[in-house]
Amino acid sequence: MKKIFLILGVILSVTAINAQTEFHNFKITDIDGEAFDFSQLKGKKVMIVNTASKCSSTIQYEMLQVLYEKYSAQNFVVIGFPANNFHDTEPGDNADIRKFCTLNYHVNFPLMGKSSVKGEDMSEVYQWLTSKDKNGVMDSEVEWNFQKYLINEEGVLEKVLAPGTKPYDKEIINWIKG
């Protein structure tokens, strides 16, 4: 019986190692049209959040910015993915979103180009985040704007947090510091 658990543990470890490689291999376009290479995230804890400018949770931009400023020196980064998958809460284009985030919330954490986080046109990063077959850890579904995905320094998905979880929640702070 111990051998079965050992073999299962090895299989799970190999799956996680393969998933971490995939995460750091993403190359996508940021909100300003520049290439963003996920390899620069190696060794950092990453919080990926799908964002929206016209949502009851939009105030979380401010909280995310404060969190980013406070912990970025500790190898932590927030990455926003503006998306219009929920009731037209992100109707603008990349320039509109950038202007809104800068003027209203002074956002300087990385924002990616507007993309889809659900459905057939889901971005490749969100395909990885939501599919156990791709991330090696768990399946999930994006419930609403400002859902949070926590990825460790090795590029392994560790947690998915509900949209209503505030960026300064104790669970997030403990994860960053841990």
pLDDT of residue 51: 98
Rg over alpha carbons for the chain, rounded to the nearest Å, is 16
Read off the amino acid at residue 148: K
DSSP 106-118: ---S-BBPP-BSS
Nearest residue to 126 (alpha-carbon basis) of 58, 28, 33 = 28
Q: From CA 37, how far away is CA 31, in angstroms rounded?
A: 13
Q: What is the pLDDT of residue 57?
A: 96
List the pLDDT tens digit at each of the 178 positions of the chain.
Answer: 555 444 444 444 444 445 444 899 999 999 999 999 999 999 999 999 999 999 999 999 999 999 999 999 999 999 999 999 999 999 999 999 999 999 999 999 999 999 999 999 999 999 999 999 999 999 999 999 999 999 999 999 999 999 999 999 999 999 999 9
pTM score: 0.88
Identify the pLDDT of residue 3.
Answer: 54
| Residues forming the active site | 55
With contact defined as beta carbons under 8 Å apart, do 102 and 68 qualify? no
Q: Looking at domain 2-177, does it have CATH number 1.10.10.10? A: no
3 state SS of 44: coil
